[in-house]
Amino acid sequence: MVKFGIGQPVRRVEDQRLLTGAGNYLDDVVLPRQAYAHFLRSPHAHAKLVRIDADAARAAPGVLGVFTGADLKAAGIGNIPCNIPLQNRNGSPLKVPPRPAIAQERVRFVGDTVAMVVAETLAEAKDAAELIEVEYDPLPAIADSEIARAEGAPQIWDFAKDNVAFDWTTGDEAKTKVQFAEAHRAVRIDLVNNRVVPNSMEPRGAIGAWSSAEGRWTLYASTQGGSGLRKMLAGDIFKVPENRVRVVTGDVGGGFGMKLFLYPEYIGAMFAARALGRPVKWTGERSDAFLTDSHGRDHRTHAELALNKDGKFLGLHVRTTANLGAYFSNYGPFIPTMAGSAMLAGCYTTPAIFVEVTGVYTNTAPLDAYRGAGRPEANYVVERIVDAAARETGLGPDEIRRRNFIPPSAMPYRTALGSVYDSGEFAKNMDDAIKAADWAGFPARRAEAAKRGKLRGIGMATYIEACGGGNDETAQIRFDAAGGVAVLIGNQSNGQGHETTYAQLVADRLGVPFESVRVIQGDTDQILYPGLTGGSRMLSVGGSAVLGAAERIIAKGKKLTAHLLEAAEADIEFEDGVFRIAGTDRTRSMEQIVKASFNMAKLPKGMSPGLDETSNHIPAGSTFPNGCHICELEIDRATGTVEIVRYTVVDDFGKVVNPLMLAGQVHGGTVQGIGQALYESCVYDRESGQLLTGSFMDYCMPRADDVPFFSFAYNEVPCRNNPLGVKGSGEAGAIGAPPATINAVVDALTPFGIRNVDMPATPEKIWRLIDAAGAKQAAE
């Protein structure tokens, strides 16, 4: 076995650099003659821009320039695009509202950009921004998606009647109606999937630089892959060939989907850099992040589940209202529709499903992908209504799931919504989790907790998600004569451990020293092929491309070895870094072959020097990670405070490359899911559209002492859709945790007749539910 190869719990090599302060994050980048930008943002959620007077700001000390929407419009700067070709249920195309980088004529959410000030120092830019006089004509605002559709609600876009952005459906409506008509029982539930703010540790930022000699820009930004931004900046914004734009990304302190997108500040920094002939830097502050980062979730859903007399699912009907914010983000309409809705089938054999999604505009920050990107929202609906059905039918939460699971023998399985699951053993995951959680011992623990005045509950949620499919990835492996190996790939580490994982793959397959492998990402001038990090595709797609390049290197190495040893190429074997003539002791090591590959005199006719190879991987389909979460918690009935006391996860991620890093991904995702379930909520004032949770003083984040030690195990059921047999793991924890946690809260509150608690299940919310239930019981 190769040291640090596939399947071994290798510690992350990048951590030494990152934890000792040697990382190279965006704010560490300082360019010669760098100036600083500050963005003036709207204090109104909805208003006409009557007048902007920036003369005093332009005359302020240190100011190099003040730019408004009129300046960008005059220069022909394009609008931020929406890249989703969605169709409404009547076949009409999605109509995309214009989103300029700096507002023109009207602002539509608190934080919308009104002007940009560039100065020698950040302090001077901020001081000058206060001198800008803006006359607003305030308009009625709407922040709630349900109220947005009400008769007489303020209109955000003239073309969008009742603020409806789109009306989209999927599934078989007629068949679903038949199944409900024939059902023995129908279970209904109304759910809120609360809005959350990504809150990456490193805020967004940008440095725009312009080279007049080359006639091209360089954007330094904290991204999840620069090629997509380059394409939009060149084609949609500045309308130049792509080779006129370079995007550079160093170390990235978290993204969660939010750093995939093109933001106004990136455009502003690049525009100002060309206008002023100097690099322009903007570093976002935490208040900027709360106001202007793309938010996540914010759905309201009514779901109905039809069952026969034996508890078998017959049909599912889901109606969701999805908040899109004031503008479309790059992929905003995709998240509640195509990205998530296909997973409303869950792990179950439900034969008929119909889904209706209405997207609405509000005077709030735009929404887009956030860890899981539609799949957590879908799984929350499925697992909450399945638990409600268990309570109404009297079946246990495990039994109702067991009766409806897709069996392994049915794989590959096409769901009612068209997804084809390639593999999965759902009952085994659940059974393993039940055993690990000591589900059978729960009644005794509940009784003991009651003696202490605590309400104890246990909740289960299974999940399946689709990820690791979509676009292709291309990887290059390059050797140098000194023994170094470089992997070049277009996706971008945001802290997931790409440097370690790709090095493991190369070391395992080529038998080179793990420490000799370096991973190069984040520069569109060096990385010739586009790529991105999103949808848990780094290993299944990117890793498969790396594996393909390694296989090509082995093939080239065999040809060179055969030439050097005067043997037939078909007789050359390769294993553990050694080329060998089969059945003999005549060998050449990989190191020897690498050195020989740079010696033209030793190469066979027609072979190019070096062992460098490139491979492209097009996914045959998505990967479908799946698993079971079990949450056990206690509620203080006097205060409503929730304490999670046990948490168990059993997952199936296919073939495991690095179990140590895998556990880290699951832990992080699970904590984010628990955060949404119990603590996090982005709140706007319903009347004014003001953000009420604009700092960590108002927005509650989970902390280390809010969660227990997780019990984590996995079953390896190889994926059939990629050569590594892996399934994506980056988002799974955030998909399984919210319904498991809320199911446990509801279970704890069962004695009060409470059947639903919306996220986040805060102490105040729970206390009010208990108080109201107690008053009702007393009245009866």
Tell me the per-residue pLDDT of 253-274, one tens digit each, with 9 for 90 and over.
Answer: 999 999 999 999 999 999 999 9
Tell me the per-residue pLDDT of 493-511, one tens digit each, with 9 for 90 and over.
Answer: 999 999 999 999 999 999 9
Read off φ and ψ for residue 730, nearest 5 degrees.
-70, -25
Distance between CA atoms of residues 280 and 217, nearest Å:
12
Q: What are the Cα distances from residue 446, in Å, to 117, 394, 451, 752?
A: 60, 19, 9, 15
* Nearest alpha-carbon partner for 437 in 126, 626, 647, 232: 647
Structural tokens at position 503: 């090095």
Tell me the per-residue pLDDT of 337-380, one tens digit each, with 9 for 90 and over.
Answer: 999 999 999 999 999 999 999 999 999 999 999 999 999 999 99
Q: Look at residue 589 and give its three-state secondary structure.
A: strand
pTM of the entire predicted model: 0.97
For β-strands 485-489 and 517-520, DSSP reports them as parallel
Distance between CA atoms of residues 604 and 325, nearest Å:
62
Please state, for a pLDDT cut of 70, what percent of the chain lies above it.
99
Q: Decide: 406 and 413 in contact? Cβ < 8 Å.
A: yes
Q: Look at residue 99 and give its three-state secondary structure.
A: coil
Distance between CA atoms of residues 751 and 600, nearest Å:
81
- Confidence at residue 778, expressed as pLDDT on a 0 to 100 scale: 65
SS3 string, 442-484, reads HHHHHHHHHHCCEEEEEEEEEEECCECCCCCEEEEEEECCCCC
What is the helix (H) or strand (E) element at residue 535, kind and residue range?
A: none
Rounded (10°) CA dihedral 96, 102, 106, 108: 70
Those residues with Cβ within 8 angstroms of residue 329's Cβ, 6 or more apart along the chain or in another chain: 82, 261, 294, 366, 367, 368
Tell me the per-residue pLDDT of 567-610, one tens digit each, with 9 for 90 and over.
Answer: 999 999 999 999 999 999 999 999 999 999 999 999 999 999 99
Tell me the per-residue pLDDT of 449-478, one tens digit each, with 9 for 90 and over.
Answer: 999 999 999 999 999 999 999 899 999 999
Distance between CA atoms of residues 127 and 287, nearest Å:
17
Distance between CA atoms of residues 21 and 491, nearest Å:
24
Q: At residue 3, does pLDDT exceed 80?
A: no
H and E: helices and strands count for the chain: 19, 28
What is the helix (H) or strand (E) element at residue 164, kind and residue range?
A: strand 164-171
DSSP annotation string for 208-229: EEEETTTTEEEEEE--S-HHHH
Least confident span in 92-96, 137-141, 654-658, 773-777: 773-777
Distance between CA atoms of residues 559 and 569, nearest Å:
6
Strand partners, 247: 219
- Confidence at residue 75, expressed as pLDDT on a 0 to 100 scale: 98
What is the helix (H) or strand (E) element at residue 165, kind and residue range?
A: strand 164-171
Q: Report how far Cα 541 is from the mean position of its chain's Cα atoms.
A: 16
Q: Report how far Cα 450 is from the mean position of its chain's Cα atoms.
A: 40
541: DSSP letter: I
Q: At residue 777, does pLDDT exceed 80?
A: no
Residue 4: band (very low, low, confident or very high) from pLDDT cuts 50, 70, 90:
confident
Distance between CA atoms of residues 105 and 136, nearest Å:
10
Average pLDDT over residues 48-75: 98
Distance between CA atoms of residues 84 and 68, nearest Å:
28
User: Which amino acid is residue 489, in one-letter code?
Assistant: I
Quote the mean pLDDT of the chain: 97
* Residue with tokens 């689709």, as numbered in its chain: 466
Q: Decide: 318 and 336 in contact? Cβ < 8 Å.
A: no
Q: At residue 776, does pLDDT exceed 80?
A: no
User: Which amino acid is residue 774, in one-letter code?
Assistant: G
Residues in the chain: 780
Burial class (CB in 10 A: 0-12, 13-18, 19+), 592: middle
User: Which amino acid is residue 737, in one-letter code?
Assistant: A
Average pLDDT over residues 617-645: 97
Q: Decide: 46 and 108 in contact? Cβ < 8 Å.
A: yes
Tell me the per-residue pLDDT of 510-542, one tens digit each, with 9 for 90 and over.
Answer: 999 999 999 999 999 999 899 999 999 999 999
Distance between CA atoms of residues 548 and 556, nearest Å:
13
Tell me the per-residue pLDDT of 205-215, one tens digit each, with 9 for 90 and over.
Answer: 999 999 999 99
Q: Report how far Cα 590 is from the mean position of its chain's Cα atoms.
A: 39
* SS percent in the chain: helix, strand, coil, step 5: 35, 25, 40
Structural tokens at position 305: 């589940």
- Confidence at residue 1, expressed as pLDDT on a 0 to 100 scale: 55
Distance between CA atoms of residues 171 and 418, nearest Å:
8
Q: What are the Cα distances from residue 214, in Å, to 64, 209, 243, 267, 453?
A: 23, 12, 10, 19, 72
* Residue with tokens 């902007």, as numbered in its chain: 52
Q: Look at residue 191 and give its three-state secondary structure.
A: strand
* Residue with tokens 């954007």, as numbered in its chain: 219
Q: What are the Cα distances from residue 350, in Å, to 186, 345, 390, 406?
A: 13, 7, 15, 9
Average pLDDT over residues 550-568: 97
Q: Decide: 38 and 122 in contact? Cβ < 8 Å.
A: yes
